[in-house]
Homo-oligomer: A and B are copies of this chain.
């Protein structure tokens, strides 16, 4: 089943799956894309502001995106992402956290023939603690 823009109802909340973060995963991602000491080096991280290794903010965003594709976007008639705003890293992501994701559909805005811009509030959580929030907008096809 494919969901078109008309099927995405403002006010709906979609609970995504979960992702277990490992120490190896944190170091591997950051070594490639964000090789700052507090993301890749245990000793530097232990002496730093967070007292231990924390995930790159981009890694948190990537984990959210993977949960969102698997749990939502893969069934949407997605054209492409358009913008992201107000990304807040509200708590550090540490090894062994089990993160879950949530999408809230804020609005569906018609945008030219055949497509709409879908505005979403996105949240990544460690249990009840929010670790990441942002607003995302994506182009989604309208029903043929």
Contact = CB atoms under 8 A, between A and B. Distances in A.
A87 B80 contact: no
Contacts of A108: none
A-side interface mostly? mixed
B57 A81 contact: yes
A47 interface: no
Given A49-B80, A50-B80, A62-B58, A36 B73 contact: yes
A82 interface: yes
A36 B69 contact: yes
A83 B88 contact: yes
Contact of A78 (B36, B65, B74): B36
A51 interface: no
Interface in A29-81: 32-36, 38, 48-50, 54, 56-58, 61-63, 65-66, 69-70, 73-74, 78-81
A42 to B, nearest CB: 16
Contacts of A61: 58, 61
A61 B3 CA distance: 28
A85 interface: yes
Contacts of A79: 48-49
Given A49-B79, A61-B61, A85-B86, 7 more contacts: A33-B66, A48-B79, A56-B65, A57-B81, A58-B62, A81-B89, A85-B87
